[in-house]
Amino acid sequence: MVIEAEVYDTKPEPDVFRTAVIYDDVFLEHDTGSGFPENADRLRRLTKHLKEHPVSNQLLWAAPDEKIDPVPWIKAIHDPGYVADLKRACEAGERQMHGSADTPISKRTYEVAAKAVTGSLTAVDLVMEGRVNNAFAALRPPGHHAMPANAKGFCFFANAAIAARYAQKHHKLERVMIVDWDVHHGDGTQSIFLEDPSVYFFSTHQYPFYPGPSGSPEITGTGAGKGSNLNVPLAAGGGDKSVVKVYQMQLTDAFRKFKPELLIISAGFDAHEADPLGDLGWSSDVYAELTEILRALCREQGHERIVSLLEGGYSQRGITEGVRRHIEALEAPPKKP
């Protein structure tokens, strides 16, 4: 009887993983042509580097959840006409969306971009269901320049914005914050939530720089969204110190006032000192430092819910070391206050 009772009381082992990494080989199938900075080799290098590193064993490697249909969630943010146009252009074998060299496409681009959305929503599910504390999606194409009705700047679907809306509609959250540390301003994400007080958008970015005036600190939201958009421009060459200070001051203030129930990071690695596009000169270690600040702020709110989505990052060191330092800091046991 005693043995039976013990067996009856035995619960499944809880997941020991703190951090999930979402990845699928299909992300390599968005073909941007030779010499283009946003290419499949970025992810090949990243996954090889992670798998060869001891941290890999600490991670829950997961594929995008096939049970999720991303299309309704894509259409919750993007104009259905644009979604149909992208699908048609890819199937027709066209090589550029809207005739722009900044948005090269291939036969499978629509499918891959939709799968990147599925990967983003899978990350939200794993975190919201408590399977892990936080998740990083190693995906492409990136999303933060994508506009409601057009592709832009290597981006097709707004992964972070779609994930934020999904967390609100599917997981019933009220307040989601998107923090964007890509070297470029996340103009797509900003435009989607400019009038929406329920999604706070915070961005540091090199300025003046691509994509232009959208990154101005004077843009703080409109209508009901006034005060839920914060742009902190950084001068070229600012290095680690300037961004850490911004995270300790402006970001910390904004976070404590807004009290997000979920934090989404638009995690680009093109502010890295080795990046061929950006000039902010950040070290690999600063990605761990920023991550620790964000984790500590979440813990103040009584949770650990961080979903991090890959955006840019075009150097070998930025996309390997930078991402790994970020993931190591996501995975590390929480520091005592």
Chain residues binding Zn ion by CB under 5 A are: 182, 184, 268, 270, 312
Return the residue nearest Zn ion (CB atom). 312
Question: In which element (H, E) is residue 21 found?
Answer: strand 19-22
Nearest to 32 by CA among 170, 125, 151: 151
Location of structure tokens 């990494």 = 21
Residue 69 CB, nearest approach to Zn ion (Å): 29
Torsion over CA: 16, 123, 40, 188 (sign): negative
- Name which of 281 and 312 has its Cβ closer to Zn ion: 312
User: Cα(309)–Cα(293) distance, rounded to whole angstroms?
Assistant: 17
- Name which of 143 and 312 has its Cβ closer to Zn ion: 312
- Name which of 102 and 292 has its Cβ closer to Zn ion: 102
Active site residue 145: yes
Residue 333 CB, nearest approach to Zn ion (Å): 31
User: Cα(28)–Cα(5) distance, rounded to whole angstroms?
Assistant: 51
Catalytic residue among 78, 145, 272, 326: 145
Which runs of consecutive H residues, i.e. helices, occur in 61-158?
A: 71-75, 80-91, 109-128
Across-strand partners of 136?
Answer: 21, 308
Percent of the chain as helix, strand, coil, to the nearest 5 = 45, 15, 40
Residue 268 CB, nearest approach to Zn ion (Å): 4
- Name which of 90 and 267 has its Cβ closer to Zn ion: 267
Residue 280 CB, nearest approach to Zn ion (Å): 11
Active site residues: 145
